[in-house]
Amino acid sequence: MTATPIINTRLTFLLLTLGSTIFHVQGFAPQVSTPRLRKCFKSISMSPTDDLDIHVMVNGMPGPMATAAAEACLRKGLKLTPVAMTGPDVEPMTIMVYDPVSEKSSEVKLIPSTQRDEVSASIQALKEACGEKNVLAIDYTHPSAVNSNADFYVEQKLPFVMGTTGGDREKLVDGVNAAKHFAVIAPNMAKQIVAMQAALEDLAKKYPGAFSSYTMACKESHQKTKADTSGTAKAVIDSLKELSDDDFTYDDIQMIRDDQEALDFGVPEDALKGHAFHRYTLTSADGSTQFALEHNVAGRTIYAEGTADAVKFLAERLQEGGEGKVYTMINVLESGALE
């Protein structure tokens, strides 16, 4: 039996217009009366096929994860703000974000994060033009910027989805909750993987020992540059250990960090530099029964789409009103049940 080949067909069209000066913050605020920004006032609709009047400031472009998230926003009917933050060392530039699936595109001027006043002025102008509740941020920047960026979003009253990992997570969550600010903060934005993990946790809680006498195995392949064991694999193992009585440890996880082994494991060649392929098995004592679970991810689409879904979820919470707080991807998943 061979694994179904997984082909990453997403083509990243990222047109960089270095040093463009199309947008100037000083000149930006008056533009709120252009037809483009007037469209903001259309009534909000959460239908996935409609264009939503939610404007997302995707911070961290032209980094690949932020760019993928911006493309996913376009694909899911969200709009991009014409200005976003980039790293302090990145030259100011205007990029064209293009989603090949929906064939939508949007120009975004990237402003170094050091120029906070400029970013701040843009945010306020956008809010005035589009409505206080229709402007949100996504953060895929750098671990070192996590806490200061969160503080900035709170200060700007800008709801945000934090996809960047690292930083002081406790401080991050506590600060946002204390400010009653709206945010989605999650270590893993791939909502389907989060759903699968939650299902396994529930299973282990409800039926501990259901797989007693079954032996466990786990094989995970990631790009060569990933040194440590997958955190997702560890979390899944924790649940499987509740179900089985095998004395499996994290050290028993078979890690693949070699291109040829990855190919043999079913990873497509174009995903060797960025993938997460996992296979877990539970096998009965006599070998006659085997359960297997696989989650095979090539590229960044699953994280990008989960991030865009988190923005849409957060926009709905904003529309409902009330006090803000930190939500997780579990909340995003649960909201599906309410639709």
CB 304 to a second copy: min, Å? 10
- Closer to a second copy at the Cβ: 119 or 302? 302
Per the annotation, the verdict on 109 as an active-site residue is no
- Closer to a second copy at the Cβ: 113 or 301? 301
- Closer to a second copy at the Cβ: 38 or 205? 205
CB 162 to a second copy: min, Å? 21
- Closer to a second copy at the Cβ: 128 or 270? 270
Angle formed by the axes of helices 191-206 and 329-338, nearest 10°: 90
Q: With 0-12 CB in 10 A as exposed, 13-18 as middle and 19+ as buried, what is 310?
A: buried
Can you tell me the distance from the alpha carbon of 106 to that of 309, in angstroms, rounded to the nearest whole number? Answer: 19
- Of 131, 175, 121, nearest to 150 by C-alpha is 175
Can you tell me the distance from the alpha carbon of 289 to that of 246, in angstroms, rounded to the nearest whole number? Answer: 16
Do 151 and 258 meet the contact criterion of CB atoms below 8 Å apart?
no
CB 219 to a second copy: min, Å? 9
> β-strands 215-222, 254-256: how paired?
parallel
Can you tell me the distance from the alpha carbon of 277 to that of 125, in angstroms, rounded to the nearest whole number? Answer: 44
Per the annotation, the verdict on 133 as an active-site residue is no
Contacting residues toward a second copy, per CB under 8 A: 1-4, 6-10, 101, 190-192, 195-196, 198-200, 202-203, 205-211, 214, 217, 243, 264-266, 271, 279, 281-299, 301-302, 333-334, 336-337, 339
- Closer to a second copy at the Cβ: 61 or 329? 329
- Closer to a second copy at the Cβ: 146 or 193? 193
Can you tell me the distance from the alpha carbon of 198 to that of 257, in angstroms, rounded to the nearest whole number? Answer: 27
Given the residues 127, 222, 278, 312, the one annotated as active site: 222
Given the residues 142, 157, 226, 241, the one annotated as active site: 226
The HSE-up count of residue 62 (CA atoms within 13 Å, CB side) is 19
CB 308 to a second copy: min, Å? 12
Asked whether the CA dihedral 121, 123, 125, 127 is positive or negative, the reply is negative
Edge-to-edge, what's the strand order for the sheet holding 104-112? 13-18, 93-99, 104-112, 83-86
| Cα dihedral: 86, 52, 324, 171 (round 10) | -20
Residues identified as active-site: 222, 226
